[in-house]
Amino acid sequence: MRALLALQFALIATSNTLQIPLQLQGQPVGSRAAARRHWINRKVCNWLGINSQAHLPEDAEGDWRKRAQDEQEIRLGQILGHLAGSSKHNDQANGSRIIREIPEYVLEYTPLVHLYSGEQFWPGDIGEHLEHVTPLLNYTPVKYSTQSMNLTNLDDLNLYNHGRFVYLTSEDNVEDRPDWLGGEKNIPDIPEEEDGFFAWVIKVIKQMLPIGTIAPPMQGGRSDAPAVLIVVEKDEGVIDAFWFYFYSYNLGNLVFNVRFGNHVGDWEHCLVRFQQGEPKFVFVSEHFFGQAYSYDAIEKYGKRPVIYSAEGTHAMYATPGGHPYVLPFGLLQDTTDRGPLWDPALNALTYTYDYKSDSLRASNLTPEAPIEWFYFNGHWGDKAYPLDDSRQYSFVGQHHYVDGPLGPRFKHLGRRKVCQGPFEDACTIHNWLPPERLRYWEGPGPGEEREDWNGDERDPPGLDYGSRGGTL
């Protein structure tokens, strides 16, 4: 035992002299040294026969030697537990899970996301997004502090009418399609072992797999745009792991060759619900509703759920192909396929959240992750342009451009059922992947939000948009 620990720590200590790829799993973009330590940790876990996704996570920025003594003891205990073959669910069994600690099984079952092969608007970095927008209230810029707007002070905008009607508005004409909207640099990298001929073989195999097949483990690529993981502990041993995906632009779908529902800023999400440490259900968001599946029903690579992001709208689905909707005036369809495979666990901001007290905390995986952005009450994109704006048009009450969305805080984190929406609404759990059926859609709402949700079914308890900020 001591020899094995000595081997791991010796390799970590000497990793600065090794030429190791920068692949930082489960962390935001950090230093090369942190990535080397993580790579060594993963390789040692592989050599010792330990699950490569359940190994010890480390800070992206800080030096592990500078951790507080109590955290060092906790992590040393985790390593000893791994090497001794202890259960991955010890925290659940003992009822002593640390408030900032994310259970290892959450990462083990991180959904892999197939982005659309012909996508024009790839994942976006929420920090970079803020560099290209100006906060507007009633189409008028607000007077911001002398400090530049960033993820650590975004909630300061709640001073303006509680932030509810503040819109982070693009400084560029979005119809000029500036590079930051497209996010092409954030296309997931092809993993080293899946490059070239082998990548082609894997792609052919995946295309031939019947829907719902449990495929051999496939390694997803890392995006420079961090995903957001919010873990919410609930009653009766339930843990909800919300994975949020941000895009700087949502391209609406075509109806009769006319496009509706464009907006700046786009938050999509999926939810994996665990009970007593075991995955039970997966929910995928589709516009302002979605679909829920049993874990057994969902497609998997190994044991990780596989989901699909639709072209342009980024709505999430459980299968590739066409996903039609019926509008009052025509047919709308989202399209998904087995495009670039994104592994959000390779780069994520990770948090725990107490929905009863509306308290977000940076997790043990990314302890330096900012939290202030989460409490911004406003919209992550432009307000719908008025009809006298040359970029805007309307038909049968539907608009070419709609409001940008609210953030993850307003995505029903306190839900009791797996589905989002009012508690009294039915929540159907699919135990298989059925053929696609037409579903009626009410049309793109403001930022694709449901304004009729009440209480902790939509908003954090007691939220009156006056919290964390006054009024000017």
| 3-state secondary structure at position 346 | helix
Is the pLDDT higher at 6 or at 175? 175
**What integer pLDDT is reported at residue 201 of this predicted model?**
65
How many angstroms separate the CA atoms of 152 and 396, rounded?
41
Confidence of residue 98 (pLDDT cuts 50, 70, 90): low
Q: What is the predicted pLDDT for the residue at 372?
A: 97
DSSP conformational letter for 189 = P
How confident is the model over 316-341, as a mean pLDDT?
81
283, 418 contact by CB (below 8 A)? yes
Interatomic CA distance for residues 148 and 146, integer angstroms: 6
User: Model confidence at 54, in pLDDT bands (50, 70, 90)?
Assistant: very low
Long-range contacts of 288-293 (CB under 8 A, 24+ apart): 288/445, 288/448, 288/449, 288/450, 289/419, 289/420, 289/421, 290/316, 290/419, 290/420, 291/317, 291/318, 291/430, 292/418, 292/419, 292/427, 292/428, 292/429, 292/430, 293/318, 293/429, 293/430, 293/431, 293/433
Closest to 302 measured CA to CA, from 389, 397, 180, 220: 220
- What region does 222 belong to: left with phi over 0, alpha with psi -120 to 50, or beta? beta
Q: CB within 8 A of 319, min separation 6: which ones?
A: 211, 299, 308, 336, 433, 436
Pair 100, 70: CB distance under 8 Å: no
457 pLDDT tier (thresholds 50, 70, 90)? very low
Q: How confident is the model at residue 410 (pLDDT cuts 50, 70, 90)?
A: very high
**Poorest-pLDDT segment among 208-212, 296-300, 318-322, 354-358:** 208-212
- Spatial distance between the Cα atoms of 16 and 414, rounded to a whole number of angstroms: 43
Please compute the mean of the pLDDT values over residues 96-117 and round it to a whole number: 88
pLDDT of 408 > 60? The answer is: yes
Residue 460: the pLDDT is 52
pLDDT at residue 55 in the model: 37
For the chain, report the end-to-end CA distance as a whole number of angstroms: 62
Asked whether 211 and 433 are in contact (CB, 8 A), the reply is: yes
Q: Is the pLDDT of residue 339 over 60?
A: yes
Percent pLDDT > 70 in the chain is: 63
CA distance 312 to 329: 21
Which has the minimum average pLDDT: 104-118, 180-194, 195-209, 257-271?
195-209
Residue 273: the pLDDT is 98
Q: What is the pLDDT of residues 219-239, one digit of tens each?
A: 899 999 999 999 999 999 999
Pick the range with the lowest mean pLDDT from 19-23, 117-121, 384-388: 19-23
Please report which confidence band the pLDDT of residue 423 belongs to, taking 50, 70 and 90 as the band edges: confident
Tokens found for residue 102: 């994310």
- CB atoms under 10 Å from CB of 108, counted, come to 17
pLDDT for the residue numbered 257: 79
Please say if the pLDDT value at position 97 is more than 50.
no
Q: Are strands 238-250 and 227-233 parallel, antiparallel or unpaired?
A: antiparallel
| pLDDT (0 to 100) of residue 116 | 95
The answer for residues whose C-beta is within 8 angstroms of residue 146's C-beta and 6 or more apart is none
Q: Check pLDDT > 50 for residue 379.
A: yes
Neighbours of 413 (CB within 10 A): 23
Q: What is the mean pLDDT of residues 308-331?
A: 82
- Residue 9's pLDDT band (boundaries 50, 70, 90)? very low
Cα–Cα distances (Å) from 158 to 140, 161, 162, 373, 407, in that order, read 16, 7, 4, 11, 13
pLDDT, tens digit (0-9, with 9 covering 90-100), for 135-166: 999 889 987 655 789 999 999 999 998 999 99
Beta-bridge partners for 281? 273, 294
Select the more confidently predicted residue: 329 or 276.
Answer: 276
In this prediction, residue 99 has a pLDDT band, given cuts at 50, 70 and 90, of: confident
Average pLDDT of every residue of the chain:
75
What are the beta bridge partners of residue 316? 309
Whether the predicted pLDDT of 74 surpasses 80 = no
Residue 433: pLDDT above 50? Answer: yes
pLDDT at 256: 76
Give the number of residues written for the chain. 472
